[in-house]
Structure 1
Amino acid sequence: MPVRRYALRRLNPYRGVTRVIELAEARAVSTDGANWELQVLTERPVGWGSLNLGRVETLYYRYGVWSAEEGVARYPMHPALERQRLHRAAERLVEALGAAPADEAEERGDRFECWLLDAAEQRPLALIAAVATAEAIPAHVSSRWCAAPGDAESLAGLGHERAEALERAVARRSGTHAWFQRMDDGSGRKVPPPASNQSGFASEGNADCRRRVVGAGATVTLGAKAFPELLLDEAWPDAETAAAVAAYVEWLAPRLLMLPLAQATRVRLERAAAAQADAVAHFFRLYPAVADTRLMNALRVQARLNQSAA
């Protein structure tokens, strides 16, 4: 298996992206592009009793962490695991991390998106979930859009009251939610959610379910412009909510820059992010492009000065 590189958005509330570098037997994940958790595929027995005799499940084992500055730090390892195999897989993963070009294009990791719809126009209003495959679409999704995590540190610069007011505005305007499969050109094909099952996910072996998700039910297609580029519609009928959304976008700018954006949008967000030099420096490695190199470099220098002063 060749090396795969893709990003998964951390949604509801949107907190940025998780970048993934994946091999056949291992993967590395990072939320800042500098510090990576190494995860290696392994097998373990399933449960107890005669019905489970000889059954195993394959899952990712948390091997350790890696950064270019500090190298590998391994977690304590269970004695029953195949140490040598895990070590070799982790070594190959670290090699892939070290060789990863910074400007290499990433795959679109979560093409299936769940959007709250505007109750009046039935158009995408706010993104609330996204998954990589049709089989991973959950049977149930909360229809409540969240502006930000509830802790005080995360809300710094936005404020609890402003976040709650924005959430209420979205709730008043929204109706149902719907899943869309996004295409390379940005358009989206509406797909029905899978039938409920015990796990809450579509069964990988259920071909009929897969056909319902990606086949006959997918009859509605919306153009790229129907989907808000910044994951929340910025056009609001009342001036007060429109101003609140604009302030929210400005506050979230250092994280929104991790998304693939039109050039004009990236220019606007980079200027908005200038007030948050520390956040820009923290997430800079995850930006897929830069519009104003001079501005971004100046903000990173300012962040280093801030750190030295602290």
Structure 2
Amino acid sequence: MDTYAKRLHNPFNGVLQVVANEQIRALSFNGVDWELQFKCTTPRGIGYARIGRWERSAGFKPFPLDPSIDRSAVEAAHGVIVAALETAQVPLPQDDYYEFWLLEDRTRQPLALLASCRQPQEMRQATIHPAWKCISASQLELDNTPEEARRGLPPLSYRLEQQVKYCAGQNPQAQWFLRAADGTGQALNAAGEGVSDVLAASHFPPLLLRETWAKVAEQDLCARYLQRLAPRLLTLQALSLESRDRVEQLASRYAQEVAAHFHLYPAIADTQRMTALRVEARLRSACL
């Protein structure tokens, strides 16, 4: 049984938990509710059919099954995956070490992470447009400031996307890297072969987007977006203790989201701070 977590990119929106074998897989965005999918042949080829949901407190709840799918095979497979889910401990390990980075136009250094995968064949099969995306400001409830609203500026997410697009240049380039445990990255060609010197870990933005910008307004846009994303960024397993402490501070404004994601955090930098945020979240929920 394969168990792993994979980052959700472009826009980055947390981590997908996966438990899978050759026949069946279970996927979860929150580590609590799992959707079970059975591998089968469809008119379009090999695909996955949704067969039910599972959670620890309620057990397995099947979906109506397409008559073309072998019910006995599904029943045999789902028993195996449910047994694995009952013992799985989230967060599952993140091992999507192949990373596809949008490059800064002038320096050709990593600017923003576009995608990641676990196996070199996934890298070779991927077709990814070199354009970085934000979660929309409306989804994040990330409003413009009164001054920005007075000036009629577009939403923050749109402006940040354009900022990154401009930094990537008129002919944006992206590069695959294989990241090592120490954070260094080996640039790879389309065949998965190393093509240049290894880049130091410091060249790769720990929050998946470059944080240093030349103009104050650009810096502010980036900082506001990353702060709003902080409760989800804490699910990243490669964060250093220093970076994790900084992101925990950024996330302090969003106690309820921190509480919702807390069981997916692989480490805690400041236990006292995080405990206080979870208490605050419970108090806020009690007042609703």
1:148-204 Cα shifts (integer Å, max 9, x gaps): 236x2x1303546222222222112114222222223322222233xxxxxxxxxxx
CA offsets, 1:234-290, max 9 Å, x none? 111222212222222111100100102100111111121121112112222221112
Q: TM-score, normalised by structure 2?
A: 0.86
Aligned length: 274
Counterpart residue number, 1:86: 74
| 1:192 and 2:170 correspond | no
Out of 122, 125, 128, the position equivalent to 1:141 is 128
> Map of 1:83-162 to 2, 5 A cutoff?
83-102=71-90, 106-108=93-95, 110-137=96-123, 138=125, 140-149=127-136, 152=138, 154-159=139-144, 161-162=155-156
Residue 158 of structure 2: which of 164, 189, 192 is its match? 164
For 1:1-310, list aligned pairs within 5 A.
Answer: 3-41=1-39, 43-44=40-41, 57-102=45-90, 106-108=93-95, 110-137=96-123, 138=125, 140-149=127-136, 152=138, 154-159=139-144, 161-175=155-169, 176-193=173-190, 213-215=191-193, 218-260=195-237, 261-310=239-288
Contact 2:15–2:29 (Cα < 8 Å) also in 1:
yes
**Cα contact 1:34–1:285 (8 A) shared by 2:** no
> Could you report, residue by residue, the CA deviation over 1:281-303 in whole angstroms, capped at 9, with x for unpaired residues?
22222211122223323323333
Q: 1:44 to 1:173 in 2, by over 3 A?
A: closer
Range that drifts further, 269-278 or 181-190: 181-190
The 3 A distance-change label for structure 1 pair 171 and 157 is same
C-alpha offsets along residues 123-162 of structure 1, whole Å, 9 cap, x if unaligned? Answer: 0011112233332235642222112236x2x130354622
Moved more, 128-137 or 15-24: 128-137
Counterpart-to-counterpart distance in 2, 1:23 and 1:158: 43
What SS does structure 2 have at the residue aligned with 1:88?
Answer: helix
Equivalent residue, structure 1, for 2:148: none
1:94-134 Cα deviation digits (max 9, x unpaired): 1211112347x6141x2222211111111001111223333
Q: Distance in 2 between matches of 1:174 and 1:16?
A: 24
Contact 1:158/1:248, CA 8 A, preserved across alignment: no
Please, what TM-score do these two structures have when normalized by structure 1?
Answer: 0.80
Distance in 2 between residues matched to 1:40 and 1:178, nearest whole Å:
34
In the alignment, the residues of structure 2 paired with residue 25 and residue 140 of structure 1 have an alpha-carbon distance, to the nearest angstrom, of 26
Secondary structure at the aligned position of 2:230 is classed as: helix
Unaligned runs of 5+ in 1: 48-56, 194-212
2:121 is paired with a residue whose SS is helix
Code of the residue aligned with 1:168 in structure 2: it is Q
- Aligned-residue CA RMSD (Å): 2.2
1:114 alignment partner AA: F
Identity across matched positions, percent: 35
Verify the 8 A CA contact 1:148 1:163 in the aligned structure 2.
yes
Residue type of the alignment partner of 1:142: H
Instruction: Return closer, same or farther for 1:25/1:117 CA change in 2, 3 Å cut-off.
Output: same
When residues 278 and 20 of structure 1 are mapped into structure 2, their CA distance, relative to the original with a 3 A threshold, is same
Partner of residue 151, structure 2: none
AA in 2 matched with 1:148: I
Q: What amino acid is aligned across from residue 174 of structure 1 in structure 2?
A: A
SS of structure 2 residue aligned to 1:275? coil
**2:6–2:94 CA contact under 8 A, matched in 1:** no
Structure 2's unaligned 5+ residue stretches are 145-153
